[in-house]
Structure 1
Amino acid sequence: MASLLRTLRGHADEVSGCAFSPTLLATCSGDKTLRVYDAADFAELPCSPLAGHDYGVHCCCFSACGRYLLSCSTDGSVVAWRPRSGEAAAVLRHPSRSPVRACALAPDSSLLLAGACDGTVALWDFGSKALRKCSAVSEASVVACCFSPCGQMFATGCTSGDLKLWDADVRLLHAEKDAHDLGVACCSAAPVFKIDGCCVEFRLASCGQDSRLKIWIVSQREGAACAVKLLHTLTSQTAPVLSCAFSCDGDLVVSGSVDKSVAVYEAVSEAPEPASLCQSCCKRTHVPNVPDRTLCSQNLGSLLHTLKQHDRYVTAVALSPTAPLMAAGSMDRTVTVWRIGAGAAEAEQTTGQGRKRPGHCRPPLLADWSEEDVRSWLRDEGLGELVGAFTAHDVDGPELSQLSRETAAELGIDSVGLRGRLLRRIEALKAEQSGSESPDEFLCPISRELMKDPVIAADGYSYERESIESWIRGRNKSSPMTNLPLQTTLLTPNRSLKTAITRWKSSQ
């Protein structure tokens, strides 16, 4: 069973990443921020949003214990946050200052890895924040990376389609050429692994522009070369697959796609009794803290769920390490949170946890909402504690749309953080219903903000003048979109685009 628990609407631009710690959920976006929620009730923390990047954030991940939250950005930096306080504990600049598209932390938090658009990876000692190495690993942009569950190696994926394995000294162990035609989008290692004498074996998931999710078996014996074998190619999604993740026990693998869906697959299936094992594919696998089990590769990859809740591309997926929860982020600026597995149906019926209460359907326009519609919306947004105050003051849809910080205080909402969350939810709701979202072509590719003075650069793309001028001063004159050298720094005003933006603004 799969049940939708919550839809989070805090971001002002497309969601690019999401991650769980044992107690928190973090999301990141092209709006330059990260948002942090309590994984128990999905209330946003008082310190959220976290704002420290100059440009859009591409990826986020937690340390295993949840003490640190890592984020990387087009601004060429990786920031280590203390998620409970919102404090930036460290800012690590990529040596080449190239946009950083992916970051990962070793399972023991000893190493931090960052992959950049210029084809390099930087490896830091996370404890001391000292740079260990910066190496070129591809001629194309590095857009995916992850550590093995043992922490002794890491994988990188690039826009040319290659998937590569490296040791902790950034020495190449294996290169899988054209693992995904047209480019790798994401890779994720299962947290569990098998140890057989001096051989270590684990599963690696990768996805890409070829609309495929692939499961690989990676093994390495001491003193021998690393071996990579394709176990499964999963094809249930009909468009490029942008993200993938394993569950904490390795039993599930999920993926998000351009077809707006999330696919949930069974990643481990128990084989028949030993007497009938098929010799070609069955083996005993040891999982730390989990009883030994016999696995049969012919039973893996069964599609359990196809979830279609988003209006645009699903760009990020994550699974909780401590609960049967999954999060999916999308270009529609929302994050959906799901309960996966037994008990999902019961959770859906719980008041305040499902997206809609059974039998209740709100009108599409806020101006038409009744008092009961407002109360239902508060419960859906995790603001059930405010229902009493709104009921006492008979707040309906029109009054909700006019609510301000002052009138919220008059309702008796004394908590500054709670008032802030309420007002952010209202603004997101009004933006969603207005249908006045800025067309993507009117947004600067660097800042992801509506352009005021658009100019055309030598790469043929249009940018906000201030953003591209700042970029050129600090990025060795490379294109933000292609990463190729700009033949000239001359910028040409795009008057037709500026006129189109002006007309669009006047129509809103």
Structure 2
Amino acid sequence: MVKLIHTLADHGDDVNCCAFSSSLLATCSLDKTIRLYSLSDFTELPHSPLKFHTYAVHCCCFSPSGHVLASCSTDGTTVLWNTHNGETLAVMEQPTGSPVRVCQFSPDSTCLVSGAADGTVVLWNAQSYKLYRCGSVKDGSLVACAFSPNGNFFVTGSSCGDITVWDDKMRCLHSEKAHDLGITCCDFSSQPVSDFIYLFMRERERCRDTGRGRSRLHAGSPMWDSIPGLQDHTPGRRWRARSSVFSIGIMWSGLPDQNLGCFFYPYLRSVDKSVIVYDTNTETILHTLTQHTRYVTSCAFAPNILLLATGSMDKTVNIWQFDLETPCQARSTDDQVKQFIEDWSEDDVSMWLCAQGLNDLVDIFKINNIDGRELFNLTKESLVDDLKIESLGLRSKVLRKIEELRTKVKALSSGIPDEFLCPITRELMKDPVIASDGYSYEKEAMENWISKKKRTSPMTNLILPSMVLTPNRTLKMAISRWLETHQK
């Protein structure tokens, strides 16, 4: 099951790209801005939107740690941003001044690749912000880039259909015409074994027989032989990969559990305004999402959690939540959420603190080496005795935010129907009310939302036609009946 849980409508023009970190969502647009949202409640961060570019922003991506965001633009620059405060860290100008179409961090955050409309590709040192090496492709605009999982090489794709493989020293390993009508995106599989990898292309006239593109890569071709793990496999519509391989036109969910990583998007730039979700195990269509009113330009899966963002020329970003109810689910969702939190690194905890407006506690938590497991088990006493947090207000706020995390796990483990949870607090509603956007919220939470001069819907981000809140007695009775049955 998949449902639309939030719509972001802050951009003033086409949305070009969406990107997730462990705690944030970034979007960029033709309106020259980049916007940052917290994944906890999808509110925009105080320092958003990020403004520097003088023309359209084509791509944005987070560093693996999530501390840095890169964006690139028609203005010929690639900008690095501090995600904690929105400050500009560096402005890196493409040597030729050509519009920059794509940027991508290496897995270890040491390098950043930027590709431009004139075919130039630059490898930047992401620590010193200096140009390391520069190269170029023969024809076309560079519109796609992806690093291998180990960072030893990366591939670029052009609007002319060329795929080029580069090593980490910017030496061209191989270049080949892969698709006749151009490449729109490329990515590497994050799962090294026992997964079918599909290769798609935009040649629609040649895809009518199966509804899927046929790859021009084949066993025995130079391109095929240059990719580890593919040399010994039989060519055809699909291959079973022994090692990480790259694919064209596909986006993986990036979930750590192999059985949960079955969702991907075969068409990232859909011109029929829809997004199709496939199950790679059964090759069947799971969902067709049709809520966008104009062409779909981008999509991205969140790491570790079942969220998807889709951007469109209708100026909106839709946030989708998946609820896996299939036999392929390897563990319960509550275990998954709890494990996700407990697996947070110290950097992940720092990002979470910043997203909650608790920036003042980052250094204290780092000094005390607080990771996800320790965060999940913090108490009032440990905040006072161990972390030496003197401010009662800070202690109360961090405990409240931690309790929200615990509540999410508890709600999932107790099987509370999602419609009984307030969209703002994600807690079981006690006094539900209906707002003028048609959604139900916990009365106190919605009143607090409005009191902060937010005249927009928490669900759609559109202006609320009225501030009137109507008691939802039917929902309140349903919650009471459910509690009598399940909370004895």
Letter in 1 for 2:69: L
- Which residue does the alignment assign to 1:305? 287
340-349 or 320-329, which deviates more: 340-349
- Which residue does the alignment assign to 1:387? 446
User: Counterparts of 1:218 and 1:46 in 2: how far apart (Å)?
Assistant: 52
Secondary structure of the residue aligned to 1:245 is: coil
- Which residue does the alignment assign to 1:349? 419
- Which residue does the alignment assign to 1:260? 273
Offset at residue 330 of structure 1 (A):
0.3
Letter in 1 for 2:275: V
Q: TM-score, normalization: structure 1?
A: 0.59
Contact persistence 2:253–2:263 (CA under 8 A): yes
1:141 has 2:144 as partner: no
1:226 has 2:220 as partner: no
User: For residues 62-77 of structure 1, what are the structure 2 equivalents within 5 Å?
Assistant: 62-77=62-77
Offset at residue 174 of structure 1 (A):
3.3
1:338 has 2:320 as partner: yes
Aligned counterpart in structure 2 of residue 251 of structure 1, from 248, 255, 262: 262
Contact persistence 2:29–2:56 (CA under 8 A): yes
Letter in 1 for 2:227: C
Structure 2 vs 1, CA of residues 150 and 425 (structure 1 numbering), >3 Å: closer, same or farther?
same
User: Counterparts of 2:127 and 2:448 in 1: how far apart (Å)?
Assistant: 47
Structure 2 vs 1, CA of residues 40 and 429 (structure 1 numbering), >3 Å: closer, same or farther?
closer
User: Counterparts of 1:162 and 1:3 in 2: how far apart (Å)?
Assistant: 37
- The count of residues paired between Structure 1 and Structure 2 equals 341
User: Counterparts of 2:109 and 2:236 in 1: how far apart (Å)?
Assistant: 29
183-192 or 313-322, which deviates more: 183-192
- Which residue does the alignment assign to 1:97? 97
User: Counterparts of 2:315 and 2:291 in 1: how far apart (Å)?
Assistant: 12
Contact persistence 1:106–1:112 (CA under 8 A): yes
Aligned counterpart in structure 1 of residue 299 of structure 2, from 283, 296, 317: 317
1:305-351 per-residue CA deviation (whole Å, 9 max, x = no partner) reads 22111001110100011201111000001111111242799775254
- Which residue does the alignment assign to 1:86? 86
Amino-acid identity (%): 40
1:29 has 2:29 as partner: yes
User: For residues 27-426 of structure 1, what are the structure 2 equivalents within 5 Å?
Assistant: 27-177=27-177, 179-193=178-192, 207-208=201-202, 210=204, 225-226=226-227, 232=237, 244-249=250-255, 250-254=261-265, 255-256=267-268, 257-267=270-280, 269=281, 301-342=283-324, 349-353=419-423, 372-374=434-436, 376=438, 387-388=446-447, 412-413=451-452, 419=453, 422=455
Runs (5+) with no aligned partner, structure 2? 240-247, 256-260, 326-332, 334-414, 425-432, 466-488
Secondary structure of the residue aligned to 1:349 is: helix
Letter in 2 for 1:189: F
1:243-270 per-residue CA deviation (whole Å, 9 max, x = no partner) reads 6421114533224311111122234x3x
Letter in 1 for 2:252: F
Secondary structure of the residue aligned to 1:91 is: strand
Structure 2 vs 1, CA of residues 337 and 233 (structure 1 numbering), >3 Å: closer, same or farther?
farther
Offset at residue 171 of structure 1 (A):
2.5
Structure 2 vs 1, CA of residues 389 and 113 (structure 1 numbering), >3 Å: closer, same or farther?
closer
Offset at residue 188 of structure 1 (A):
1.4
User: Counterparts of 2:214 and 2:417 in 1: how far apart (Å)?
Assistant: 32
- Which residue does the alignment assign to 1:395? none
User: Counterparts of 1:184 and 1:73 in 2: how far apart (Å)?
Assistant: 19
Q: TM-score, normalization: structure 2?
A: 0.61
Letter in 1 for 2:149: P
Structure 2 vs 1, CA of residues 38 and 172 (structure 1 numbering), >3 Å: closer, same or farther?
same
Structure 2 vs 1, CA of residues 209 and 106 (structure 1 numbering), >3 Å: closer, same or farther?
farther
Secondary structure of the residue aligned to 2:10 is: coil
- Which residue does the alignment assign to 2:13? 13
Letter in 1 for 2:319: V
1:124-176 per-residue CA deviation (whole Å, 9 max, x = no partner) reads 12122121111112311111111111111111111111222221222333334
Structure 2 vs 1, CA of residues 119 and 303 (structure 1 numbering), >3 Å: closer, same or farther?
same
Runs (5+) with no aligned partner, structure 1? 196-200, 235-241, 270-298, 355-370, 391-410, 414-418, 433-508
1:381-424 per-residue CA deviation (whole Å, 9 max, x = no partner) reads xx98663268xxxxxxxxxxxxxxxxxxxx743xxxxx4x6469
User: Counterparts of 1:157 and 1:306 in 2: how far apart (Å)?
Assistant: 27
Contact persistence 2:197–2:238 (CA under 8 A): no
Offset at residue 60 of structure 1 (A):
0.9
User: Counterparts of 1:100 and 1:4 in 2: how far apart (Å)?
Assistant: 32
User: Counterparts of 2:3 and 2:456 in 1: how far apart (Å)?
Assistant: 27
User: Counterparts of 1:243 and 1:312 in 2: how far apart (Å)?
Assistant: 20
Letter in 1 for 2:276: A
User: Counterparts of 2:186 and 2:100 in 1: how far apart (Å)?
Assistant: 16
1:30-87 per-residue CA deviation (whole Å, 9 max, x = no partner) reads 0011111111211111111111111111011111121111111111111111122111
Offset at residue 425 of structure 1 (A):
8.6
Letter in 1 for 2:187: S
Contact persistence 1:25–1:36 (CA under 8 A): yes
- Which residue does the alignment assign to 1:454? none
Contact persistence 1:243–1:315 (CA under 8 A): no
Secondary structure of the residue aligned to 2:436 is: helix
Offset at residue 6 of structure 1 (A):
0.7
User: Counterparts of 1:384 and 1:52 in 2: how far apart (Å)?
Assistant: 39
Contact persistence 2:298–2:312 (CA under 8 A): yes
- Normalized per residue, the structure richer in strand is 1
User: Counterparts of 2:219 and 2:19 in 1: how far apart (Å)?
Assistant: 24
Structure 2 vs 1, CA of residues 264 and 145 (structure 1 numbering), >3 Å: closer, same or farther?
same
Secondary structure of the residue aligned to 2:160 is: coil
Letter in 2 for 1:226: I
